[in-house]
Amino acid sequence: MKQVTLLAVFTLTFLYNGNAQNKKNQDQKAIKSMCGCYEVSFNFAETFQYSNDSTYMPSKTKHDKGLEWVQLVEDTDNKIVMQHLLIVGPTDRQHVIKHWRQDWLYENVNLYTYNADNKWNYVSLPKDQVKGQWTQKVFQVDDSPRYEGSATWIHADGKSYWENTTDAPLPRREYTKRSDYNVTVRTNKHEITKTGWIHDQDNDKVIRKEGEDDVLLAQEKGLNIYTKVDDSKCQAAQDWWKTNSQPWKLVRAKWDQVFNRKVNLALEEKVEDKALYEHLFSKDFSNKEKDINNIIEAFVKKL
């Protein structure tokens, strides 16, 4: 009887581990399917306003299009790194812009959650809370932190999607135009489609002050549609990455050192009257490891 029981336990364990691995493989396939060349439509509209100010002006509805290459940078069993590169201009005069980056970590317990006003709180999650989940870590164009969240990839009814709600700074399209709120509470949904993928967003524009309850100012709908096209259309971005990938590898490594301190993080908005991206993208800036490390450290506030 004891042998039968042990065999049953072994069989169930084997089946569970096998199913878990198959699920993880599905997750990895879905994540990496976001790589490649895409024609993208960026759409944002403010849907509801809650301000008591009669002079309140909602953000203008935004419709933009672009060509974007999503480069697979790192692919290991528990980590997938993808760099977005935006291509602008006519075919004969294309210009490549380093765009946002997304990292995916399996069963990750270390997060930096956005607080407000360029400050992030380090959070250590219990292992059982993130079992089977993937953390999406999103970074700015200079690879500084933006927002992070952990959730489970769902594969059902022929669909694959991941959804999470987390706090974030203002998006760049708002940062230079709005100062009446300071936190975006983002519900992000990434769904794989037959023609590519979509980034579906429901965003709350929130006023956050220390010691007070959050105030909801307005809500926004975002829908970015990525339609797969032939990789050859994004050749300019592929060439750009081959030429520029090494210094950005050093930038990522330095940021990893900062994050591995596992303490709350605050960043300066400007150093020497320049934002970090202005330093790193400057033609006059040295791409040597020492200089990259020094400029990033200059932006990290001592708490």
Residue indicated by tokens 């549609």: 225
- 293 falls within a domain: no
Distance between CA atoms of residues 222 and 44, nearest Å: 4
Backbone angles phi, psi at 150, to 5 degrees: -115, 135
Between strands 134-139 and 145-151, the pairing is antiparallel
Walking along the chain (303 residues) 10 residues at a time, the average pLDDT comes out as: 59 61 96 98 97 94 97 98 95 92 98 96 97 98 98 96 98 90 98 98 97 97 98 97 97 98 97 96 92 97 80
Closest CA to 175 of 54, 59, 74: 59
Terminal CA-CA length for the chain? 62
Backbone angles phi, psi at 278, to 5 degrees: -70, -35
Residue 175: per-residue pLDDT: 84
Spatial neighbors of 280 by CB under 8 A, at least 6 apart, are: 142, 251, 292, 295
Spatial neighbors of 150 by CB under 8 A, at least 6 apart, are: 108, 111, 125, 129, 130, 133, 134, 135, 136, 164
- 96 falls within a domain: yes
Residue 241: per-residue pLDDT: 98
Residue 178, classified by CB atoms within 10 Å of its CB into exposed (0-12), middle (13-18) or buried (19+), is middle
Closest CA to 84 of 99, 65, 106, 64: 99
- 134 falls within a domain: yes
- 47 falls within a domain: yes
Residue 6, domain extent: 2-236
Provide the b/e sequence for 65-93 (b: ≥16 CB within 10 Å): eebbbbbebeeeeeebbbbbbbbeeeeee
Residue 279: per-residue pLDDT: 97
Distance between CA atoms of residues 239 and 87, nearest Å: 12
- 180 falls within a domain: yes
Structural domain total, the chain = 1
Spatial neighbors of 48 by CB under 8 A, at least 6 apart, are: 218, 219
Joined tokens for residue 297: 């450290």
What's the chain's length in residues?
A: 303
Distance between CA atoms of residues 270 and 279, nearest Å: 10
Question: At residue 266, what is the residue type?
Answer: A
- 225 falls within a domain: yes
Residue indicated by tokens 């993928």: 197
Question: At residue 238, what is the residue type?
Answer: Q
Q: Rounded to two decimals, what is the model's pTM? A: 0.92
- 90 falls within a domain: yes
- 257 falls within a domain: no
